[in-house]
Amino acid sequence: MDERRRRFEALMLPHLDAAYNLARWLTRNVHDADDIVQDAYLRAYRSFDGFRGEDAKPWLLAIVRNCHRSARERARAMIAVPLAADDGTGPDRDEAAGWPASAVEDPEAQAMRTDAARALAGLLAALPETYREVLVLREFEELSYREIASIIDSPIGTVMSRLARARAMLREHWLAAHGDGT
């Protein structure tokens, strides 16, 4: 194994869990998440010469996100023809519409210990992707606003407003479903 490969593994493999967790929450589907992570590692490996020693985790997660987005574009391109014209509500309209089937089929979600947690997972999975991704990066990866901004390629102000909006939506849905208690 050459030095480049060794260095790549040492820097990037420790973030496999984070890469998978993000891919799962983005795709909301076990098989797609596997593919995204494998693609992302391959892409990361190919562009590793462009890695300048910055933080490996946000660098890798940005690639995971890009892989997800291009896979989604490809999927959209294939099914685009029979659908009605764009209704103008943006790329997240289908995801925001309600509980995604994949979140319901998710075996881990089914294994959730409590109904409340399962319900909350469903609500999170149903958030529009732009809000879901910042919340996942913040709550589960505990990344800083700056790191999240670099991953989603947006200003910190955008991270802050999306995070606030994401939490507000989640609380709203949660309260609607479960009242004031837990």
Judged by CB under 8 A, the stretch of 50-58, 66-74, 78-86, 162-170 that binds another protein is 162-170
* Residue 38 within binding range of another protein, rule CB under 8 A: yes
Half-sphere exposure of 9 toward its Cβ, with a 13 Å CA cutoff?
A: 5
The token duo for 84 is 């009605």
Using the contact rule CB under 8 A, the part of the chain among 58-66, 70-78, 84-92, 168-176 near another protein is 168-176
Listed residue (35, 109, 115, 46) closest to 75, CA to CA? 35
- Can you tell me which of 11, 37, 127, 151 binds another protein, judged by CB under 8 A? 37
Alpha-carbon distance of 146 to 84, in angstroms, equals: 38
Closest approach, Cβ 83 to another protein, in A, equals: 29
Question: Is there binding between residue 51 and another protein (CB under 8 A)?
Answer: no
CA–CA separation, 18 vs 22, rounded Å?
6
The binder of another protein chosen from 5, 7, 76, 93 (CB under 8 A)? 5
CA nearest to 162, candidates 176, 145, 150, 147? 145
Measured CA to CA, the distance from residue 66 to residue 69 in angstroms comes to 5
- The residue ranges that bind another protein (CB under 8 A) are 2, 5, 8-9, 13, 16-17, 20-21, 24-25, 30, 33-34, 37-38, 41-42, 45-46, 108, 112-114, 116-117, 120-121, 124, 138-140, 144-145, 160-161, 163-164, 167, 170-171, 174, 182
